[in-house]
Chain A
Amino acid sequence: MIELDCRGQRCPLPVIKLAQNIGKVEVGDVVRVLADDPAAANDIPAWCRMKKQEYLGSPAENAFEVRRTT
């Protein structure tokens, strides 16, 4: 798992960082995004749906986990 610290960054930056880094983990592995922009909780799951990746949920406040599926 890799962790991307995007706290303090406004959307769409956390989603851009996620897209740029998802290829750095193996298929089946997880990327955790730390983001406190209020749009992240909405836009990270929406990105997963559009890009066919698996959104695993938010294990803690301002943290979002995505599993690479392709």
Chain B
Amino acid sequence: MEFTGDPAGPAYLDAATAVPLHPVAREALLAALADGWADPARLYSAGRRAQQLSDAARAAFAEALGVRTDEVSFWPSGTAAAQAAVLGALAGRSRQGDTLVHSAIEHSAVLHAAARGKAVEVPVDRLGRLDLDAWERAVSAPGVAVASLISASHEVGTVQPVAAAAGYCDESGVPLFVDAAQSVGRTDVPPGWSLLSASAHKWGGPPGVGVLVVRKGVRWISPYPQDDLYRPQWPGGADLPAVVAAAASLRAVRAEAATESVRLKALVDRIRERVPATVPDVEVVGDPEQRLPNLVTFSCLYVDGEALLHALDRAGFAVSSGSSCTASTLRPSHVLEAMGVLSHGNVRVSLHRGTTEADVERFLAVLPGIVAGIRREAGM
């Protein structure tokens, strides 16, 4: 299926999972495939060319994230980068403690890493905002090694108080890891963190590129067998052409971010207002103010989430859901549960630079009929 921006064609509205490849990424990828195939560690000219590309990409990331080039490393995915951040930081702090403090709404990648050892979960409120008092108590307790906070919820879009959370971590000498997958390329992440991860296909780079930043002075021990450089890095070669494309597209989306945020936020506002006005018994979830510009989530009473996704797919809309029937585990989203909001009939709509006003209008036009049809079939 091509997502062409054709007003009558299908609309891909799942940017929080993956954004279609940015044209700059496509161009850079093709160029780097021709020029960046060699091993950058080798001492012949093809290797040196690859090394130059790698250095330039690293420098672009360092500039975009406001860090030093030697603090940036490349991983096979955002998940791999996030898990390396958590496990590497825990190992690096094993003398100080063994406990990971994390919000209840972290990405499952972080929760899976947390399940390896001791962890303390900090709750969120009904809008998905971190409970800062509970966070302060948790990070100041004895035995805490690392704290982990998602920059903004990938499921409901609520932006988290990273600066305040980082302040409490700093007071207790606990390094903070921020999973910034939904923010990098859209909004700046406040400073104060010690480790940060991001994922290129969330901003229009190619899939298969995770970025990890470990600030100088943060002790990090690789969870993998490592070479003698002892720098945070994935224990194999990076996909250099993809990394180059990721760097080039990050620069491009950052240049567009301010205007795109305004445009997408207006479209999201329209969805937030129109869905509850046109569909009965709907709950729009997430913080109405402190939120990602491009993402909106709502839950429809009496609606099977899987049926809703399939019906929207047939109508030409690709969206995601946190409802249990759409998850492999058959459990509702831990994020919706932590917020205490309705988990069935859940739809996450996330927009990107290819999303048009016509896409959104068409979505808003078909949704009420689709929801009504599913409810009718269920006897409601």
Interface residues of A (CB under 8 A from B): 10-13, 15-16, 19-20, 37-39, 42-43, 45-47, 50-51
> Could you give 19 example pairs across A and B, Cβ below 8 Å?
A11-B324, A12-B301, A12-B304, A12-B378, A13-B378, A15-B301, A15-B344, A16-B378, A19-B301, A37-B324, A38-B330, A39-B344, A42-B332, A42-B342, A42-B343, A46-B340, A46-B341, A50-B281, A51-B301
- Band of interface residues on B: 20 to 34
List the A side residues contacting B325 at CB < 8 Å: 10-11
The yes or no answer to B302 lying at the interface (CB within 8 A) is yes
B374 → A minimal CB distance (Å): 10
Q: Is the interface of A mostly helix, strand, loop or mixed?
A: helix
B378 → A minimal CB distance (Å): 6
Q: B342, A46: Cβ atoms under 8 Å?
A: yes
Given contacts A39-B324, A45-B340, A46-B283, contact A11 B332 (CB under 8 A): yes
List the B side residues contacting A38 at CB < 8 Å: 324, 330-332
B106 → A minimal CB distance (Å): 18
List the B side residues contacting A39 at CB < 8 Å: 323-324, 331-332, 343-344
Q: A50, B301: Cβ atoms under 8 Å?
A: yes
Our pick among A10, A12, A13, A45 for the contact of B345 (Cβ within 8 Å) is A12
A63, B337: Cα distance in complex, Å: 18
B379 → A minimal CB distance (Å): 7
Shortest Cβ distance from B330 into A: residue: A38
The yes or no answer to B229 lying at the interface (CB within 8 A) is no
Q: Which of B315-354 contact A (CB under 8 A)?
A: 323-325, 330-332, 336-337, 340-345
Task: Mark contacts of B368-380 with chain A using CB atoms, 8 A cut-off: 1 yes-contact digit, 0 otherwise.
Answer: 0000000000111
List the B side residues contacting A46 at CB < 8 Å: 283, 299, 340-343
A51, B280: Cα distance in complex, Å: 11
Additional 9 contacts, C-beta under 8 A, given A43-B344, A46-B342: A11-B323, A11-B325, A38-B324, A38-B332, A39-B344, A42-B340, A46-B299, A47-B342, A50-B281
Shortest Cβ distance from B303 into A: residue: A12
A37 → B minimal CB distance (Å): 7
List the B side residues contacting A15 at CB < 8 Å: 301-302, 344
